Amino acid sequence: MLTVTMTDQTTARTWLNQPTYWSETGDTLTATAPPGTDFWRVTHYGFIRDSGPFRYQEQTGNFEAKVRIAGKYHELYHQAGLMIRIDDRNWIKAGIEFLNGKQSVSAVVTREFSDWSVLTCSDNPAFLWVRMQRYHDTVQVSYSRDNQEWSMIRLAYFPPQVPVNIGIMAAAPGKEALEVSFDHLTVSPLHSPPQED
């Protein structure tokens, strides 16, 4: 199940790769992240995947997006987090990815070709916060265990002055679906450059 708690009922959000089964009650959205879904482009593996559920809103200018994630990760490459996206060739996803029996903080930056950064967690936390801060030509990706102390995992170029889609994503590239929950999703203006945590 993919569960999303929305904090802003007035913001129009839509699906890319809408799951077959999903429902929305109040500020909670529930769906299934199906097996065989992923976001990746060419590098190392030689394939292109653009099939994971992505629930997004359109956003312009400088902003900060933040969400708390909790999931039942149990199969290799199970993943959930935030995605910022222009199109299928220009996007960043970041969040939790399951590798070698451990949750890892993961960021994939794609501009025609994907690259991947991974930081293995020392444990399998019950939840993790993920944040993306877009400021002009930069997206800074950070994570936190408590929404207070943040650590940067990635600072990446991203095309400036173009509208983007921002929201939550999940994928289950293997044979089993992924149950995951998102809450405290916020997207708010960013008026100054993000601090390097």
Q: pLDDT tens for residues 28-75?
A: 666 678 999 999 999 999 999 999 999 999 999 999 999 998 888 999
Counting residues of the chain whose pLDDT is more than 70, the rounded percentage is 89
Q: Is residue 15 part of a domain?
A: yes
Q: Is residue 33 part of a domain?
A: yes
Q: Is residue 74 part of a domain?
A: yes
Q: Which of 113-117, 122-126, 153-157, 172-176 has the lowest mean pLDDT?
A: 122-126
Tracing tokens 């699906």 back to the chain, one arrives at: 15
Q: Is residue 26 part of a domain?
A: yes
pTM of the model: 0.92
- What's the number of domains the chain is made of? 1
Q: pLDDT tens for residues 164-184?
A: 999 999 999 999 999 888 888
Q: Is residue 193 part of a domain?
A: no
- Checking if the pLDDT of 23 tops 80, the result is no
Q: Is residue 195 part of a domain?
A: no
Asked whether the beta carbons of 97 and 109 are under 8 A apart, the reply is no
- Checking if the pLDDT of 17 tops 80, the result is yes
Q: Is residue 194 part of a domain?
A: no
**CB-hemisphere CA count at 13 Å for 91?**
22
Q: Is residue 130 part of a domain?
A: yes
Asked whether the beta carbons of 44 and 58 are under 8 A apart, the reply is no
Segments forming the whole domain that contains residue 34: 2-188
Report the CATH number at residue 159: 2.60.120.200
Rounded to 10 degrees, the C-alpha dihedral 46/50/51/56 comes to 150
